[in-house]
Amino acid sequence: MITADDLIALVRNYNPKSNSELIRSAYDFGAQMHDGQLRHSGDPYFTHPVAVAAILSEQQLDDATIITALLHDTIEDTKASYAMVSEKFGDEVARLVDGVTKLTNLQLSSVETKQAENFRKLFIAMSKDMRVILVKLGDRLHNMRTIKSMRPEKQVQKARETMDIFAPLAGRMGMQWMREELEDLAFKVLNPEGRQSIMRRFISLQRDSGDVIQRITGDMRRELEKVSIEAQVFGRAKKPYSVWRKMQEKEQSFSRLSDIYGFRVITQTEEDCYRTLGTIHRRWRAVPGRFKDYISQPKSNGYRSIHTTVSGRDGKLVEVQIRTRQMHDVAETGVAAHWSYRDGERSNNPFAVDPTKWIAQLTEQFEADDNHEEFLEAVKLEMYSDQVFCFTPKGDVVNLPRGATPIDFAYAIHTRIGHSCVGAKVDGMRVPLWTRLKNGQSVVIMTAEGQFPQSTWLDIAKTGKAKSAIRRSLRQADRDRFITLGKELARSAFAHVGKKATDKALLTAARHLRLPDADEVLARLGSAELTGQKVVRSIYPDITPKEGTPIEAGRAVIGLQPGQSFKRAPCCQPLPGERIVGITFRGEGVQVHAIDCEKLATYEDQTDRWVDLHWHDGSHAAEYGATLDLTIGNDAGVLGRICTLIGETKANISDLEFLDRKPDFYRLLIYVELRDVMHLHSLMAALEAESEVAAIERHRNPLQPSAKTDSSLRMV
């Protein structure tokens, strides 16, 4: 464990004026409060806060943040109180520690509505003091580095939360190094086979082609020396998760990926950045459409750099990023650059942005009584979207997500402008409101009194701010009228497929559409925000047959060796679309299990028998068995209606088994043959909507495999 002297030395390296005695006092206080507490690994618990403080010292943060890192778990996990921390270390540190404690208690990985509400609390806390989230990110990074000591199910939960929330958040705040490490650590937990596969291919590639990075960086340095440009050149292979994501997005194998190497050129001046770009383009052929200038048009988080892709040695495509040292500091540490210290003074990096501006701007868009789900939608748009930069007639720059339209531009200026928008001119020419804006365009919004948002605008708008404002206006117009109209539309839509729009059906639709209640479904139907077809499909998506030739059973699984046979494990009954893994059996081929099958624990010490598999992406025939556990009312004709509904969803019943018969209900297992996991979910949704169905769940039994499932061997 890092000692107090070691930590103080780390801080004094960049801040000689730091309060060493206060840091030592916080170190001793934290050690005393956590005395006797152990981590899952068996190490003393205080090793964790110290490691978080060391991570933050690498970002050259102020004393208050370092002390907060040392104490961030004291209020939650020890006898220390807010008043005690405030008395010993001041109100600033106490507020920061309390803020981190509240963030720790938020269940951000919950799939329920509370997740969106907690997301709002997260952003409100961040808007008050960004250092709270910097400590939380450091806390999450160290926990991910030591995640192997947690229970397997806890590892998956934390890794998924990291991948979905904390890694994108770090990226949105410009802390790219942290985003990449968090993604890679989460990837190692969520898909260890995939990551190991990428690593093996990197090793194989390096063995076949030698050290490509060293050769290309050497070439670049020589070219820059010829034109007297002083610069540092770094190269690296992209992170395994980055390569994996690109393989999934482009649907390409590793061998077909080209730009798996990235290079950075750090220059002395901004002028040298553009001279470097010219030098590289003269020496290597630039790839069309792969150039971005974030120096002239910085990202909203302060990121500045020139990106280009060129064809390097042996025709390999390599990405090159060119920026100055100050730009590089912001690119690496993001908003942390706003708080960093050098030589005892607050660092004055001209490219560091005020870290609270974009969060405050986002939170101000939503009033306290707004839908939390809409806020979550806006946050994710902010974190994941790329950007385009457009200009107002006065020359002001408006940052928008890629794919944004004049509607988004209008609402970005002011909600009133958005509400009254009737048209737009782009670069002086009249364009439809659904036009996708491009970088550098000048946009003029035309307005008219008496104009109100149209429901069709929701399909046009791309930003959370625009969508929220449009929805708010539409709902305020005449909710009762929309509900009345929605009832008629729902009745007609359900009748079209031979069903009734019962209260339970509408409640089921609301749950699947993530809406609060049936009235909201009807209101959105009446306002044209939802279509009757979409409501019906949320419950009965498979009443109409799907087109396309089904995948042959022998080609259903990808990843087997030629001639290798497989069979679906009867314990978990994996369906196409689910994540799967294979276990080899000598003389019997491969048994395919769902990735979450409890039976896999039996083979965890026999990794040589595991095979990385996945289902073919095409449509499959309805021949994959699954078991449903149903409780239904004991009335005349109920079982017949259930069987008819299963047939209407194009599923086939292979057998029935009654588990319990009571005067008022039956409990039974129904063995059905399905296309894929989506077919299963849609069937369960359709059954759940029926008033005669009291309960339904998927049945799996790892201890007593069912003989009713498909166990035939398939040859590849």
pLDDT at 64: 92
Average pLDDT estimate for 451-473 = 85
- Do 710 and 567 lie in one domain? The reply is yes
Q: What percent of the chain has pLDDT over 70?
A: 82
pLDDT at 687: 87
Beta bridge partners of 118: none
Evaluate whether 168 touches 384 at the Cβ level (below 8 Å).
Answer: yes
Q: Which residue range forms the structural domain that includes residue 151?
A: 4-190
User: Which one is catalytic: 77, 478, 612, 710?
Assistant: 77
Evaluate whether 6 touches 27 at the Cβ level (below 8 Å).
Answer: no
Which whole-number Å values give the CA distances from 132 to 118, 122, 658, in the listed order? 15, 10, 56
pLDDT at 380: 55
Which whole-number Å values give the CA distances from 107 to 115, 140, 158, in the listed order? 6, 14, 11
pLDDT at 441: 84
- Do 670 and 562 lie in one domain? The reply is yes
458 or 372: which leads in pLDDT: 458
Evaluate whether 419 touches 451 at the Cβ level (below 8 Å).
Answer: yes
- Do 594 and 708 lie in one domain? The reply is yes
Q: Respond yes or no: is residue 76 known to be catalytic.
A: yes
Q: Is residue 642 part of a domain?
A: yes
Q: With the CA atoms of 434, 440, 442 and 445 taken in that order, what torsion angle do they form, in degrees rounded to the nearest 10?
A: 40
Query: What is the number of alpha carbons within 13 Å of residue 576 lying toward its C-beta?
Result: 24
pLDDT at 201: 79
Rounded CA separation 405/433 (Å): 7
Split at pLDDT 50, 70, 90, the class of 306 is: very high
Residues 386-395 pLDDT 10s: 567 788 888 7
Amino acid (1-letter code) at residue 125: A
Exposure letters 192-219 (e unless 16+ CB within 10 A, then b): eebbebbeebbeebeeeeeebbeebbeb
| Domain at 271, CATH number | 3.30.460.10
Split at pLDDT 50, 70, 90, the class of 22 is: very high
Pick the most confident of 485-494, 622-631, 654-663. Answer: 622-631
Split at pLDDT 50, 70, 90, the class of 672 is: very high
Asked whether the predicted pLDDT for residue 715 surpasses 50, the reply is no
- Do 114 and 225 lie in one domain? The reply is no
Rounded CA separation 51/456 (Å): 52
- Do 223 and 320 lie in one domain? The reply is yes
Asked whether the predicted pLDDT for residue 78 surpasses 50, the reply is yes
592 or 528: which leads in pLDDT: 592
Q: Is residue 663 part of a domain?
A: yes
Least confident of 323-327, 424-428, 557-561: 557-561
Residue with tokens 């896999």: 600
- Do 184 and 230 lie in one domain? The reply is no
- Rg over CA atoms, the chain: 29
pLDDT at 113: 44
Q: Is residue 544 part of a domain?
A: no
pLDDT at 339: 57
- Do 395 and 326 lie in one domain? The reply is no
- Do 307 and 389 lie in one domain? The reply is no
Rounded CA separation 128/133 (Å): 10
Q: What angle do CA 255, 257, 262 make, to 5 degrees?
A: 125
Which whole-number Å values give the CA distances from 102 to 126, 165, 613, in the listed order? 11, 17, 41
Asked whether the predicted pLDDT for residue 564 surpasses 60, the reply is yes
Q: What angle do CA 245, 621, 191 make, to 5 degrees?
A: 25
pLDDT at 367: 47
Asked whether the predicted pLDDT for residue 249 surpasses 80, the reply is no
pLDDT at 585: 86
pLDDT at 131: 84
- Do 171 and 285 lie in one domain? The reply is no
Q: What element of type H or E holds 270?
A: helix 270-283
Split at pLDDT 50, 70, 90, the class of 671 is: very high
Asked whether the predicted pLDDT for residue 348 surpasses 80, the reply is no
Q: Is 407 exposed, middle or buried (0-12, 13-18, 19+ CB in 10 A)?
A: buried
Split at pLDDT 50, 70, 90, the class of 112 is: very low
Decide which of 306, 336, 366 is a domain's last residue. Answer: 336
Residues 182-227 pLDDT 10s: 999 999 999 888 888 888 877 776 666 667 788 889 999 999 999 9
Residues 354-387 pLDDT 10s: 556 656 655 555 444 455 555 555 555 555 555 6
Amino acid (1-letter code) at residue 413: I
Structure tokens at 101: 């404690």
Average pLDDT estimate for 223-234 = 93
Q: Is residue 641 part of a domain?
A: yes
Asked whether the predicted pLDDT for residue 104 surpasses 80, the reply is no
Q: Is residue 341 part of a domain?
A: no
Residues 61-75 pLDDT 10s: 889 999 999 999 998
Q: Is residue 419 part of a domain?
A: yes
| Domain at 415, CATH number | 3.10.20.30
Average pLDDT estimate for 260-288 = 91
Asked whether the predicted pLDDT for residue 495 surpasses 90, the reply is no
Split at pLDDT 50, 70, 90, the class of 712 is: very low
Mean pLDDT of all residues belonging to the chain: 81
Q: Is 570 helix (H, G, I), strand (E, B) or coil?
A: coil
Asked whether the predicted pLDDT for residue 56 surpasses 70, the reply is yes
Evaluate whether 468 touches 372 at the Cβ level (below 8 Å).
Answer: no
pLDDT at 682: 83
pLDDT at 440: 72
Evaluate whether 126 touches 335 at the Cβ level (below 8 Å).
Answer: no
Decide which of 436, 452, 475 is a domain's last residue. Answer: 475
Evaluate whether 134 touches 56 at the Cβ level (below 8 Å).
Answer: yes
Asked whether the predicted pLDDT for residue 172 surpasses 60, the reply is yes
Q: What are phi and psi of 110, to 5 degrees?
A: -65, 140
Average pLDDT estimate for 607-628 = 86
- Do 609 and 695 lie in one domain? The reply is yes
pLDDT at 336: 62
pLDDT at 707: 39
Identify which of 242, 282, 272 has the alpha carbon closest to the alpha carbon of residue 260. Answer: 242
pLDDT at 708: 42
Q: Respond yes or no: is residue 488 known to be catalytic.
A: no
pLDDT at 369: 42
Average pLDDT estimate for 473-489 = 78
Rounded CA separation 239/174 (Å): 17
Pick the most confident of 287-296, 409-418, 579-588, 685-694. Answer: 409-418
Average pLDDT estimate for 122-132 = 72
Pick the most confident of 100-114, 228-242, 476-490. Answer: 228-242
Identify which of 60, 126, 62, 66 has the alpha carbon closest to the alpha carbon of residue 99. Answer: 126
Q: What percent of the chain has pLDDT over 90?
A: 26
- Do 428 and 506 lie in one domain? The reply is no
Other C-beta atoms lying within 10 Å of the C-beta of residue 296: 11
Q: Is residue 345 part of a domain?
A: no
Average pLDDT estimate for 157-183 = 84
Asked whether the predicted pLDDT for residue 24 surpasses 90, the reply is yes
User: Which one is catalytic: 43, 58, 76, 87?
Assistant: 76
Asked whether the predicted pLDDT for residue 349 surpasses 90, the reply is no
Evaluate whether 689 touches 504 at the Cβ level (below 8 Å).
Answer: yes
Evaluate whether 629 touches 669 at the Cβ level (below 8 Å).
Answer: yes
94 or 398: which leads in pLDDT: 94
Which whole-number Å values give the CA distances from 512 to 516, 643, 684, in the listed order? 10, 23, 11
pLDDT at 450: 81
Query: What distance, in Å, lies between the first and last C-alpha atoms of the chain?
Result: 53
Split at pLDDT 50, 70, 90, the class of 401 is: confident
| Total domains, the chain | 5
Q: Is residue 342 part of a domain?
A: no
Rounded CA separation 284/26 (Å): 54
Asked whether the predicted pLDDT for residue 498 surpasses 60, the reply is yes
| Domain at 84, CATH number | 1.10.3210.10
Asked whether the predicted pLDDT for residue 110 surpasses 60, the reply is no
pLDDT at 361: 57
Which whole-number Å values give the CA distances from 478 to 192, 243, 510, in the listed order? 53, 50, 20
Decide which of 475, 509, 529 is a domain's last residue. Answer: 475
Other C-beta atoms lying within 10 Å of the C-beta of residue 112: 10
Rounded CA separation 608/605 (Å): 9
pLDDT at 351: 61
- Do 628 and 677 lie in one domain? The reply is yes
